[in-house]
Amino acid sequence: MSKLQVLEVPHPVLRQKAEPVQAVTPAVKQLLADMLETMYATHGVGLAGNQVGELRRMVVVDCGGEQPDPIKLVNPEIIDRSDEMICHNEGCLSVPREYADVERHARVTVRYLDENGHPQTRTAEGLLAVAFQHEIDHLDGKLFIDYLSPLKRKLLLKHLEKRRKKEARLAEEAEV
């Protein structure tokens, strides 16, 4: 297994639509394992293909907390959504250390292929439902910041840019 590089905004691949996986091959299975390892190493609860530069419809999620619950999804599709909504403070490995409240469906049912190519459906609520919606958005080139008002989004990205510059400056100083 190997840890992959996680792309960050404004990388253009994050804004592209991922293509369906034609067959769940050993290479796909390996990529899912690498994505899961990368997600754990970066302390995320979900990771989508786009985020590691793979424009294929693949997602890994683990919202299990103390009890691990890794879920690997190929070609995931939301087939049912509750009318009820929930608000959750979301973050994203591709928008590092910035958080904002986003409204999502409180419960969703997802249809997908597992890592052995078998069709599965899973109904989730709470954090797992949020993660499914957030990750499937990634496959369509959508980020959680797209749900914010233009002003809020602008401020968040400005804050991220400011922090990046500061970190780069500190790193430079440390090298001298």
- Binding segment (CB under 5 A) for Ni ion, from list 69-77, 87-95, 123-131, 156-164: 87-95
CB of 85 vs Ni ion, minimal distance in Å = 19
Tell me, by CB under 5 A, how many residues bind Ni ion. 1
- Binding segment (CB under 5 A) for Ni ion, from list 61-69, 92-100, 102-110, 117-125: 92-100
- Which residues fall within 8 angstroms of residue 69, CB to CB, at 6 or more apart? 62, 63
9 binds Ni ion (CB under 5 A): no
Residue positions annotated with a catalytic role: 135
136 binds Ni ion (CB under 5 A): no
CB of 131 vs Ni ion, minimal distance in Å = 9
CB of 28 or CB of 92, closer to Ni ion: 92
92 binds Ni ion (CB under 5 A): yes
Q: Please state, in angstroms and rounded to a whole number, the distance separating the CA atoms of residues 16 and 29.
A: 22
Q: Can you read off the two tokens belonging to residue 51?
A: 């985020």
Q: Is 53 left (phi over 0), alpha (psi -120 to 50) or beta?
A: left
Q: What is the DSSP letter of 16?
A: S
71 binds Ni ion (CB under 5 A): no
**Sequence-ordered strand ranges (E) for the chain:** 46-48, 58-61, 71-81, 85-92, 95-105, 107-113, 119-125
Q: Which residues bind Ni ion (CB under 5 A)?
A: 92
